[in-house]
Amino acid sequence: MSDVIDFVLNFHSGWRYLVMLGTIVTCGYFVYALVTSAADTKRDKLVTTIWAILVDIQVTLGLILFVLYIFDDAHEIKGQQMGHLFTMLLLVPPVVHFYSIYSKRNPNADLKRMRLIGAVAPIVTLVLIIGGILALGGGFELVFGS
């Protein structure tokens, strides 16, 4: 069981770089779209969908890891991991999915407002992700190291 946990932990740890890169790219795209006032809303939805998929995979890997920790006697769940889980599971996904939820509920929403949401949501998400990683107690080398 330990080999499976190590694999999932390494996969989860490595996937965070794709999530952070996707978050930065999403923010950059929406800032660019705000400045240039391009009218391609399909691309807006595509960018947020890809970003949400990256984050959802990370959340799913984290949940799998949590369940594996529960059933493995060699690992115990610490308070730091609960803080990490709380931040990443309860705070990050709603922020990531806010754009698509808002756009579906307000199909005639102002394009600039939608793009502003698209630019701010990744910034808030990145702060939450860094905070969630720091909740593990390893400092900034845990955020940007392996």
- Residue 146's pLDDT is 54
Query: Within 10 Å of residue 129's Cβ, how many Cβ atoms?
Result: 24
- 53: pLDDT confidence band, cut at 50, 70 and 90? very high
- Residue 87's pLDDT is 83
What is the rounded distance in angstroms from the CA atom of residue 87 to the CA atom of residue 72? Answer: 23
- 144: pLDDT confidence band, cut at 50, 70 and 90? low
Q: For the whole prediction, is pTM greater than 0.85?
A: yes
Domain count, the chain: 1
Two structure tokens written together for 4: 């499976």
Q: Please, which residues have CB within 8 angstroms of residue 146's CB and are 6 or more apart in sequence?
A: 13, 14
- 132: pLDDT confidence band, cut at 50, 70 and 90? confident
For residue 30, give its domain range.
Answer: 2-144
Question: What DSSP string describes 73-89?
Answer: TT----HHHHHHHHIII
Q: pLDDT (tens digit, 9 = 90+) per residue, 56-67?
A: 999 999 999 988
- Residue 50's pLDDT is 97
pLDDT at 119 over 80: yes
* DSSP H or E run through 140: helix 140-144
Q: pLDDT (tens digit, 9 = 90+) per residue, 24-47?
A: 999 999 999 999 987 778 899 999
At residue 64, the 3 state secondary structure works out as: helix
